[in-house]
Amino acid sequence: MEETAGRAVGAEAEAMRWTPPGSEAEYRLNLAEGFLVEARQDLHLERWRSCVDNSQLAVENAAKATLALLGPLGRTHNPAVLLRKALQEGRFLQGVRAQVERITECARLLGPDIHAQSDYGDEAGWKTPWELFSEADAKQALGLADEAVRLARELVGGGGHPSRCMS
């Protein structure tokens, strides 16, 4: 992620600018919402592994949408680390810190280790991904995904709408 000195993000900013349609933040939010829809379908169809996998991708992309508000986003499958760093550096305004902290926590809980397990299973224990995840796991993951996507939507400005950022 490119360092942008002196920039912060938040709804209470007096000087607002709109992120243009087609921005990375909007794109990542659209991805997050698409994976969330699929996770809900998976839960309904009792596909626990797939629900966890799609929930993880929804959270990852919600976190990336939040990071994209700060500037260009490099490739990462662990956006929680970058969000935590941005929070520590004070790059988010106080009014949105709680939202960003919660997205960060969701991304930590459904991080790259869950992604690997939902795709590859437990290779050391010879357990397939379908053996690892239960209905309770799927419901918990979907709850985190719902929350992270909702919070990211608030920060970016709503699904498909331009985001509001302070320059």
- At residue 22, the pLDDT reads 65
Say which residue the tokens 């939202």 belong to: 99
**pLDDT at residue 166 in the model:** 29
What pLDDT band is residue 84 in, cutting at 50, 70 and 90?
very high
pLDDT digits (tens, 9 = 90+) for 86-119: 999 999 999 999 999 999 999 999 999 999 999 9
Instruction: Indicate the class that CATH gives domain 20-156.
Output: mainly alpha
Cβ(163)–Cβ(157) below 8 Å: yes
Q: Which of 23-32, 72-81, 151-160 has the lowest mean pLDDT?
A: 151-160
Identify the burial level of 63 via C-beta atoms within 10 angstroms of its C-beta, where 0-12 means exposed, 13-18 middle and 19 or more buried: buried
For range 149-165, the mean pLDDT: 68
Q: Determine how many CB atoms are found less than 10 A away from the CB of residue 47.
A: 18
pTM of the model: 0.83
Token code pair at residue 155? 């920060």
pLDDT tens for residues 137-146?
Answer: 999 999 999 9
